[in-house]
Structure 1
Amino acid sequence: MVADALAAHPVIGLPWLWLSPSLAGESPEGRGLRLAASGPGWSGAIRCGLPLPLASESLGAIVLQHVPGEGPGEAAALLEECVRLLVPGGRLALLALNPLSPYRLRWRGRRLIARDPIVWRRRMADAGLTPEPAAQGIGPQWSPTASPTLQSAAGLRAAFLQRAEKRAVPMTPIRPRLPLAIAEGVPAA
């Protein structure tokens, strides 16, 4: 699922960024950077904090996977940084824990804070992204085996996927004004 989200941008070859809770597992193929939460910042190929040392409008896709957050200010700063890094048309995929899931007891005390998909959609819109109208539920629902199908809302699934896109408002062409026509025989002064 992460590999699909990272390859979501229509322009092939743009680099991607994956922010995750740990560096366990393999990174997908392609040009990109994977960073893991490490104290107040991020570590991986580079060790840094916000703002990330990447060029503005240089990434085609960003995945935020269960990112830690102490409050709305930290989440807002991270989303604003994602908007800065995404090219117009770039896509953001947020994988977050579902606060309504019975699985929330498994990850209590691990610095992971669960928020409703509506809260994340509002934060994305406030940061300048255009979120999809509904999140998709992913992961197990009542049994410990994960379901391979996506669900069209978070429901009681363990986690959800909320996608958003950075859209640029195109410039509106302004038509040149025609010179003022003055009727013949009328004095101008």
Structure 2
Amino acid sequence: MKKLYSLAILMFLASLSINAQITASGIQNPSYMGNMNVSYSLNPGYVWHDLQTRDIGTDYYGTSTNNTYTPYYFRKNNTWLIKTHWNFESYYGFLYLFKLVEPAVSNETSPPCFGKWESLDENNGNPTGNFFYMTLTGTCSTLNNASPPPVNAILLSPNSISLPQRDNTSINATLNPTTGSMVWSIDDACVKVFNGTSWNCL
């Protein structure tokens, strides 16, 4: 009886591993990749070198967006990356796609459910300065996630008005602000007003 019970537990755990996945939304991927806002399977069995050198004990996720490209998530040196394997007429290789920049350092075995990512140069992995926010659902981590992106519009509700929420660099870069303009500073946690010369907290 104990053997049957143990076997049932092992089968249940195996089924959880098979069904575990993440589903992405918000990816701004190159058009040749096809749709990357799809589901990715947990530890699908790839044996590529990158995955063999990933951080010990971490998960990785992969899928195939078309017949040529197979993107995958993995963590290396405490940073989550997305690369893609490509295979075309007996030729194959890898391209860099994205790097997680917030949170910049991750100690979690799974990627964060909400993060800020940066596009990378496909060939050398250098940062491009192009950022986007991505939401994951499924077997992702909720322990260390990115802060919500700035809100660049006034939001009205029956009980309140929400000002645009921006960092000081973005506020000071505003072109031709009107005297009396107001914005919420994420950095200083205050409402800032433009007095005709500079932005100051109320």
TM > 0.5 fold call: no
Query: What interval of TM-score do these two structures reach, taking the shorter chain for normalisation?
Result: under 0.3
Task: Calculate the TM-score normalised by the size of structure 2.
Answer: 0.25
Task: Calculate the TM-score normalised by the size of structure 1.
Answer: 0.26
